Amino acid sequence: EDQVTQSPEALRLQEGESSSLNCSYTVSGLRGLFWYRQDPGKGPEFLFTLYSAGEEKEKERLKATLTKKESFLHITAPKPEDSATYLCAVPSQTGANNLFFGTGTRLTVIP
Amino acid sequence: NAGVTQTPKFRILKIGQSMTLQCTQDMNHNYMYWYRQDPGMGLKLIYYSVGAGITDKGEVPNGYNVSRSTTEDFPLRLELAAPSQTSVYFCASTREGINGYTFGSGTRLTVV
């Protein structure tokens, strides 16, 4: 059973057009929800960790929020350089020391 | 700081050949991981290590082997390459547990 589901699979935005990416999870006893950014041909880059419902983290035009069932990555007034795939991850239910990743949302910001 | 370094960046293997994907980190991280990434499938954990001399299987370990003789190095071995192992392989490390992985830039492997 998938532990993390991301939507949409792909999103195209005009520069300056704000939107949100969704990550829903089914794990119990959440020990953190993680957001990563991945540029084409590169490894994922860590963005945020959220630990409890109601928590928010911000970095430039990105804000991540967490509820008991899902997390949102809000992108405010995006720029073309925000184009990337955004991955969310949760601690694996089968292993104590590793992450289970979602399939990602591929974001394209058009100038 | 170089971070996590993976070599080679690209490789084409013939079915049945063997190779080792190299991963080294200079951050003195205890935890190291190997993931593979296939289009539309997300990152899948192959093997991980919580310290030198300790390794454990992940979600998709079949066809692979690892060793961890030093803190810095965590090589991934493919013994008999199969087309199903065509993928992009990422190595990652972290000081403790699951927080803030640092990923390498990946190895793109094609088995023909």
Stretch A74-89: mean pLDDT, rounded? 97
Percent over 70 (pLDDT), chain A: 96
Start-to-end Cα distance in chain A: 39
Stretch A18-44: mean pLDDT, rounded? 92
Tokens matching residue B107: 């190895």
Q: Is B39 on the interface with A (CB under 8 A)?
A: no
DSSP code per residue over A16-76: T--EEEEEEE--SS---EEEEEE-TTS--EEEEEE-STT-EEEETTEEEEE-SSEEEEEE-
Is residue A34's pLDDT more than 90?
yes
Rounded to an integer, what distance in angstroms lies between the CA atom of residue A41 and that of residue B108?
Answer: 9
Lowest pLDDT segment from A32-41, A100-109, B22-31, B36-45 = B36-45
How many whole angstroms from its chain centre is CA A31?
16
Say yes or no for a CB contact (<8 Å) between A103 and B41.
yes
Tokens matching residue A91: 């601690």
Say yes or no for a CB contact (<8 Å) between B31 and A97.
yes
Query: Which candidate in B5, B25, B37, B43 is best for mutational testing of the A interface (most A CBs within 10 A)?
Result: B43
Q: Is B48 on the interface with A (CB under 8 A)?
A: yes
Q: Assess if CATH 3.40.190.10 describes domain B4-111.
A: no
Confidence of residue B100 (pLDDT cuts 50, 70, 90): confident
Stretch A65-84: mean pLDDT, rounded? 96
Question: Which chain B residues are within 8 Å of A36, Cβ to Cβ?
Answer: 101
Question: Which chain B residues are within 8 Å of A44, Cβ to Cβ?
Answer: 43, 90, 101, 103
- What mean pLDDT, rounded, does chain B reach? 94
Tokens matching residue A46: 């860590």
Is residue B42's pLDDT more than 90?
no
**Phi (first) and psi of residue B92, to 5 degrees:** -140, 160
Q: Where are the domains of chain B?
A: 4-111
Is residue B1's pLDDT more than 70?
no
Domains along the sequence of chain A with CATH: 4-110 (2.60.40.10)
Say yes or no for a CB contact (<8 Å) between B58 and A31.
no
Lowest pLDDT segment from A13-17, A91-95, A104-108, B55-59 = A91-95
B68, B32 Cβ separation under 8 angstroms: yes
Stretch B48-69: mean pLDDT, rounded? 95
Identity of the residue in A32, A43, A97 whose CB atom sits nearest the CB atom of B105:
A43
Confidence of residue B98 (pLDDT cuts 50, 70, 90): confident
